[in-house]
Structure 1
Amino acid sequence: MLFHLSIEADDPKRVAEVLAEIWGGKALPFPPVGVGSWMAFHGADNGTMIEVYPRGTMLTETGADAVGTIGEKRRNNATHFAMSTDLAAERIYAIAEREGWNAKYCKRGGKFGVIEIWIDGCQMIEVLTAEMQREYLDCVTVENWTRMLKAGAPQPLAA
């Protein structure tokens, strides 16, 4: 089980509130990393959360706990995640539109659907409705992935 992950955003409070809305959860401040950091708790209150730091936050190893410092404010990065929702796809599109975030349906590898959302125009997340979650869980298994690799399915990265 993945307990939490962290991303950066232009407005961490707003992003945490929207993610909590999608999850049926609650957004709360997260001061241990730095002023302006927030977290979105899943509605099941099982400890699952997404930490949202101000854009440019870098975690630095110290002799004690890691600390967050502000550095270069990059716009795009490789970090993304897929999250479940109990909401209908139409509601997810409406939330994304309200926030001014691009959202579209994608069928990953022709196997399972996701709603791809671009927070702040640069942070990609994938939201999976109940139907999409079933597709994902039927497809993404160690056995299926191993079979795909044996078939020579890996694709090169874009230049």
Structure 2
Amino acid sequence: MIHHYSIAVANTKEVAGVLNEIFQGHVTKFRPRENSYMVWFDDAYGSAIELYPLKTEMLPGENEQAAQFVSNEEASGYSATHAAISVALDKKSIFQLARSLGWRAVELPRGHFNVIELWLENRVMIELLTPEMAADYLRAFAKEKEGV
């Protein structure tokens, strides 16, 4: 189970608000990094997404130090890191929200199930699964698990 993951975006406050609307949870500041937020899903697992300012990188600490945050002005802002997340919203609501922000959103097949690629700020992709898509995903996973 994944409890949280982190991404870097240009407008942390705006993206936090949009993700909060999608996940229907709540937002808090992420104190270790200035201008950072956590979007909580308000589920039983403490699921959340941490939002750092664009070009933030995490480096390993020395000895017993925690990870260190640095800004890399050379960073492109794109990342291969993404997550597939089930949401309660329907396709129409997701596409309307994306359109209102000018963000790319497209439904695409992933084998035996579909996802909506939502591109936060047209830079960071998350895959959203509506309840119907999540059911298809779980069916596909069950078949994969059985070796079918």
TM-score (norm 1): 0.84
**How big is each residue's C-alpha offset from its partner over 1:56-88, in whole Å with a ceiling of 9 and x where there is no partner?**
111122232212111133132211111111111
How far, CA to CA, are the matches of 1:28 and 1:121 in structure 2?
Answer: 24
On the 8 A contact 2:8/2:77 being kept in 1, the answer is no
Q: Residue 19 of structure 2: SS of its match in structure 1?
A: helix
Verify: 1:54 aligned to 2:53, yes or no.
Answer: yes
On the 8 A contact 2:86/2:128 being kept in 1, the answer is yes
Verify: 1:93 aligned to 2:92, yes or no.
Answer: no
Q: Percent identity?
A: 35
On the 8 A contact 2:9/2:77 being kept in 1, the answer is no
Q: What is the aligned partner in structure 2 of residue 122 from structure 1?
A: 123
**How big is each residue's C-alpha offset from its partner over 1:86-137, in whole Å with a ceiling of 9 and x where there is no partner?**
111111111111221110111112x101111111212111111100000011
Moved over 2 A (4+): 43-46, 145-148
How far, CA to CA, are the matches of 2:5 and 2:146 in structure 1?
Answer: 26
Q: Residue 105 of structure 1: SS of its match in structure 2?
A: strand
Verify: 1:10 aligned to 2:7, yes or no.
Answer: no
How far, CA to CA, are the matches of 2:35 and 2:77 in structure 1?
Answer: 18
Per-residue deviation, 1:146: 8.0
How far, CA to CA, are the matches of 1:80 and 1:50 in structure 2?
Answer: 11
Verify: 1:78 aligned to 2:80, yes or no.
Answer: yes
Q: What is the aligned partner in structure 2 of residue 19 from structure 1?
A: 19
Q: Residue 42 of structure 2: SS of its match in structure 1?
A: coil
Q: Residue 80 of structure 2: SS of its match in structure 1?
A: coil
Per-residue deviation, 1:45: 5.8
Per-residue deviation, 1:49: 0.3
How far, CA to CA, are the matches of 2:31 and 2:110 in structure 1?
Answer: 36
Decide which moves more: 92-101 or 63-72.
63-72
- Structure 2's unaligned 5+ residue stretches are none
Alignment of 1:96-115 (within 5 A): 96-109=98-111, 111-115=112-116
TM-score (norm 2): 0.89
Alignment RMSD, CA only?
1.8
Q: Residue 77 of structure 2: SS of its match in structure 1?
A: coil
Per-residue deviation, 1:31: 1.8
How far, CA to CA, are the matches of 1:37 and 1:140 in structure 2?
Answer: 34
Note closer, same or farther for the CA distance 1:133–1:9 as it changes in structure 2 (3 Å cut): same
Q: Residue 52 of structure 1: SS of its match in structure 2?
A: strand
On the 8 A contact 2:24/2:41 being kept in 1, the answer is yes
Per-residue deviation, 1:44: 2.4
